[in-house]
Amino acid sequence: MVSKTKLGLIGRNISYSFSKKFFENKFQKLMIHDHSYDIFDLQDIDEVERLFAEPGLRGFNVTIPYKEKIIDYLDELSGEAQDIGAVNCVSIENGLKKGYNTDAFGFEKTLLLHLKPHHTSALILGDGGAAKAVQYVMKKNSIPFTTVSRKSAVTFDSLDSETVRQHPIIVQCTPVGTYPKVEDCLVFPFEGISEKHLVIDLIYNPEYTRFIIHASEKGAKTVNGYYMLEQQAEKAWEIWNFQKK
C-alpha cells in the first residue's frame, strides 16, 4: 500500500481557509493521488506536538494566531523567517522541522505589481506575523514605513488624517473584517485617503472588506489578499517539493 504524503494548515478557528481547496485542486490538476491536505484546527500551539508525530507529514502552512508561536517548536529557520520573526510554512525532512516565511514572497509580488513612483512611504496597520512580513518587504525595497498598532508610537487612537495623507501606501494586516465578522472595520481616518493611495488589505474572505470599500469610495487603488495568498501557497509547494528531492 502506497503511504500518503500529508500536508495541511494549522491555526485556530480556520474552517474558512482557502488552502485546502487550493491544494486539492493542485493535486487533481497534477494527477497526484498520494497527497492529502488537511485543516488542523489547534486551540493551543502545544497541540502541534501531536501533529509532528503524524506518519507521512511532509509539512504545513501556519496562520493566525501561530505564526510567531510556532518558532519555539522548530529546529531551524530560513534566512527570511529568521529576519521576519514569523513563520507561515514548515517543512519536515528526516525529522528536521524547518520554518519559512512565504508571506513575504507573496506580499512582495502583490506590492510590485501595483507600486507607482509616487508610492514612497507606507502605513502598516497591525504588528502580528503578517505585518512583520510586510515590514520585511518594505525594508527590502527601501520604502520607509510607520507601523500602527495598540503598542506602537502611532496607535489606532492617535492616527490622524494628515498622517494618512503623508503615506500613500496603506497595508491592512489585522484580521478585523475577516469572515464571518464581515461588517467589522478598523476605526480609521478614511478622509485622509485620496486617489493617490494604494490600499492593500491582506484579507481575502470576504473579497471586499469594509476597509477596502471605504478606501475605494475615496478613490484609492485597492487590492485584497487573494493574489498574495495564491503566491505564498505556490512558494510553499515549491519548498515542500524541493525538500523531497
What's the grid cell of residue 182? 464581515
The pLDDT of residue 194: 97
Domain assignment present for residue 239? The answer is: no
Beta bridge partners, 36, equal 6
**Each residue's pLDDT tens digit, 208-240:** 999 999 999 999 999 999 999 999 999 999 999
| Judgement on whether residues 25 and 96 belong to the same structural domain of the protein | yes
Nearest of 42, 44, 33 to residue 8 by alpha carbon: 42
| Judgement on whether residues 91 and 152 belong to the same structural domain of the protein | no
| Judgement on whether residues 13 and 91 belong to the same structural domain of the protein | yes
| Judgement on whether residues 119 and 198 belong to the same structural domain of the protein | yes
Q: What is the mean pLDDT of the chain?
A: 94
CA 88 to chain centre: 7
Strand order through the sheet with 145-148: 145-148, 122-125, 169-172, 198-201, 221-223
Question: Other CB atoms closer than 10 Å to residue 233's CB: what's the count?
Answer: 21
| Judgement on whether residues 216 and 179 belong to the same structural domain of the protein | yes
Domain assignment present for residue 242? The answer is: no
Residue type, 196: K
Question: Out of 67, 98, 132, 235, which one is annotated catalytic?
Answer: 67
Q: Determine contact, residues 107/80, Cβ cutoff 8 Å.
A: no
| Judgement on whether residues 13 and 51 belong to the same structural domain of the protein | yes
Q: Where is the domain boundary, 101, 126, 142?
A: 101
Residue 20 falls in the annotated catalytic set: no
**Each residue's pLDDT tens digit, 15-74:** 767 899 999 999 999 999 999 999 999 999 999 999 999 999 999 999 989 999 999 999
Range of the domain at 77: 5-101
